[in-house]
């Protein structure tokens, strides 16, 4: 399929209401006549403080994302980074650690020497225990000095690259050190302050509400950015443009024309040495609660009044509110949980989940989950949404697959042709970002023969630039003050309201047995039966 790139991509818009922005000034724009184009926005000078900076996330994602933003000219020259962790490192050692991560994981390699030299001048390391009040007092003094020396004007972005159990103590320490207030709040010393927190946000509804309260006692909601990197991917952002920017698709985006929707988040890896964490978490909490439900909400939402953060997130919340929590009997009929046993993935031998380090030998934790959800709304009533996720799958792929209803007339049956396949629209989130449309076409030659063919749009071949990494997009948005692609507190709590009954029923042993599947397969047979009962089957990406 041949496509031509438009001059600029559409994007979501930050809240224009000053009250909704916690008194913070509007972000600077390269051209005020072209608001809403994310690539034309550049943040104010600021300092990003990474709490837990010596971990894997900083090496693999945060460091490369910041370098690529600097390389693209999207960060001001004054931008500064402070790594905050307990490991005993000097500034130079921390810079070297960041550089190694960029050399290994950046999408733009080799590293451009001039860009790195400019970027590294603003990188410092602050050694301290995250539970030590004195470390935060020293951090506050360091940030004041950076404001003076680098001109960052008191603007701070704190990234909590630590387990969620540490969030409450960290935000409390930040508050006591005077580091939590933004301009416009009592006690603020100037500039804005925002905080990014990683998933998982709680382990159930009770813990999520408690975490929201604890963070909310220090930061206002407009300051809190709950990151879900899937929402930063180009294809997910393009969903709104695809639907609302094309007259072809939005009129048929409803129960009259769509038969069913499948959302697949498949991983080839196992637990990767995180056995203790994963055995307490499982696939439902790790993937479905955030990635899966957020993808569904983005796909199914109604058009917002405006492309502003508040309107977009309001529409997503409406979708989640329309998903009714299941009764125990419905859990047994509409869900499947599985756990992988030994097998082969991409030519490598994979041991059984229960043989992984730090995993209980009789573990009941699911590494695979499949759900059938219903959105009880005017647009989607009667359309099943099938969600599945699993580890040790044959391929790493995230995809939204839409099956349209079959043509109503058996016109070709009179000519001896069997019923033709339904149309499929597959929105590929990763790894090959793009959109595929499958439809029937006549095979050339004498007689009448119909075959399904594909029209395939790929970002990599259709545009002259690489898609930015999701963390690049999301970090830039947080600096600009655009929360459109971040999750709001009420969205998080509603997602747990949907999943808590499933988790509780599974733990009580009333949701059906734990099924086993071989590593390198697409899950247990029971997951296939879940769709076969409805006369459907999983799409094989």
d(CA 240, CA 458): 17
Same domain, 187 and 336: no
Same domain, 310 and 454: yes
Kindly state whether residue 20 falls inside one of the protein's structural domains.
Answer: no
Same domain, 193 and 243: no
Kindly state whether residue 4 falls inside one of the protein's structural domains.
Answer: no
Same domain, 344 and 477: yes
d(CA 9, CA 7): 7
Same domain, 296 and 191: no
Question: Going by C-beta distance under 8 Å and a sequence separation of 6 or more, which residues neighbour residue 35?
Answer: 13, 29
Same domain, 240 and 183: no
Q: For residue 226, give the 3-state DSSP assignment.
A: strand
Q: What pLDDT digit, counting tens, does each position of 439-448 carry?
A: 777 778 766 7
Quick one: pLDDT at residue 514? 97
- Give the CATH number for residue 177: 3.40.50.720
Q: What pLDDT digit, counting tens, does each position of 360-419 carry?
A: 999 999 999 999 999 999 999 999 999 999 999 999 999 999 999 987 766 666 656 666
441, 447 contact by CB (below 8 A): no
Same domain, 304 and 346: yes
Higher pLDDT, 27 or 428: 428
How many domains, the chain? 2
d(CA 256, CA 379): 9
| Catalytic residue ranges | 291
Same domain, 112 and 192: yes
- On the question of pLDDT at 197 being above 80, the answer is yes
Kindly state whether residue 160 falls inside one of the protein's structural domains.
Answer: yes
Which of 198, 218, 252 delimits the end of a domain? 198
| Mean per-residue pLDDT of the chain | 88
Kindly state whether residue 537 falls inside one of the protein's structural domains.
Answer: no
- Give the CATH number for residue 469: 3.30.360.10
Same domain, 254 and 190: no
DSSP letter, residue 348? E
Q: For residue 72, give the 3-state DSSP assignment.
A: coil
Kindly state whether residue 541 falls inside one of the protein's structural domains.
Answer: no
Q: Which of 277, 299, 532 is nearest to 391 (CA)?
A: 277
| Residues 489, 494, 497, 502, CA torsion sign | negative
Question: Going by C-beta distance under 8 Å and a sequence separation of 6 or more, which residues neighbour residue 462?
Answer: 3, 4, 5, 434
Kindly state whether residue 30 falls inside one of the protein's structural domains.
Answer: no
Same domain, 256 and 345: yes
Quick one: pLDDT at residue 467? 76
Q: For residue 431, give the 3-state DSSP assignment.
A: coil
Kindly state whether residue 185 falls inside one of the protein's structural domains.
Answer: yes
Q: In terms of residue numbers, what domain contains 123? A: 43-198
Which of 198, 217, 250 delimits the end of a domain? 198
């Amino acid at each position: 399929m041949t496509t031509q790139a438009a001059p600029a991509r559409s994007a979501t818009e930050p809240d224009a209401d000053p009250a909704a922005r916690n008194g913070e000034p509007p972000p600077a724009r390269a051209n005020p006549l072209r608001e809403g184009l994310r690539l034309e926005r550049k943040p104010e000078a600021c300092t990003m403080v990474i709490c837990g900076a010596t971990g894997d996330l900083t090496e693999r994602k945060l460091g490369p994302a910041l370098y690529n933003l600097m390389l693209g000219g999207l960060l001001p020259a004054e931008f500064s980074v402070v790594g905050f962790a307990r490991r005993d490192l000097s500034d130079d050692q921390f810079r070297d650690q960041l550089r190694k991560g960029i050399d290994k994981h950046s999408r733009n390699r080799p590293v451009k020497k001039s860009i790195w030299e400019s970027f590294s001048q603003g990188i410092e390391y602050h050694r301290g225990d995250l539970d030590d009040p004195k470390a935060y007092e020293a951090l506050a003094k360091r940030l004041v000095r950076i404001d003076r020396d680098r001109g960052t004007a008191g603007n701070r972005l704190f990234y909590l690259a630590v387990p969620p159990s540490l969030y409450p103590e960290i935000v409390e320490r930040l508050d006591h050190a005077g580091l939590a207030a933004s301009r416009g709040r009592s006690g603020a010393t100037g500039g804005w302050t925002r905080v990014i927190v990683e998933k998982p946000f709680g382990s159930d509804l009770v813990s999520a509400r408690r975490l929201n309260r604890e963070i909310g006692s220090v930061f206002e909601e407009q300051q809190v950015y709950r990151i879900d990197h899937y929402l930063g991917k180009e294809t997910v952002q393009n969903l709104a443009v695809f639907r609302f920017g094309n007259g072809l698709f939005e009129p048929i985006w409803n129960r009259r024309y769509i038969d069913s929707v499948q959302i697949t988040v498949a991983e080839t890896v196992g637990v990767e040495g995180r056995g203790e964490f994963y055995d307490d978490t499982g696939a439902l909490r790790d993937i479905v609660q955030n990635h899966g439900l957020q993808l569904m909400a983005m796909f199914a939402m109604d058009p917002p009044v405006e492309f502003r953060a508040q309107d977009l997130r309001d529409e997503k919340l409406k979708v989640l509110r329309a998903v009714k929590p299941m009764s125990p009997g419905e859990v047994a009929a509409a869900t499947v949980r599985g756990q992988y046993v030994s097998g082969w993935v991409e030519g490598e031998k994979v041991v059984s989940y229960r043989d992984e380090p730090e995993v209980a030998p009789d573990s009941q934790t699911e590494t695979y989950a499949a759900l059938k959800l219903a959105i009880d709304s005017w647009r989607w009533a009667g359309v099943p949404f099938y969600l599945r996720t699993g580890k040790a799958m044959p391929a790493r792929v995230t995809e939204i697959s839409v099956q349209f209803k079959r043509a109503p007339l058996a016109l070709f049956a009179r000519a001896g042709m069997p019923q033709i396949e339904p149309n499929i629209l597959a929105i590929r989130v990763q790894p090959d970002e793009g959109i595929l449309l499958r439809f029937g076409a006549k095979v050339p030659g004498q007689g009448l023969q119909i075959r399904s063919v594909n029209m395939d749009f790929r970002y990599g071949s259709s545009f002259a630039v690489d898609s930015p990494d999701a963390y690049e997009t999301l970090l830039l948005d947080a600096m600009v003050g655009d929360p459109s692609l971040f999750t709001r507190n009420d969205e998080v709590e509603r997602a747990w309201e949907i999943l808590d009954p499933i988790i509780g029923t599974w733990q009580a042993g009333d949701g059906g047995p734990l099924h086993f599947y071989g590593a390198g397969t697409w899950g247990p047979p029971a997951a296939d039966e879940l769709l076969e009962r409805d006369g459907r089957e999983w799409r094989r990406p």
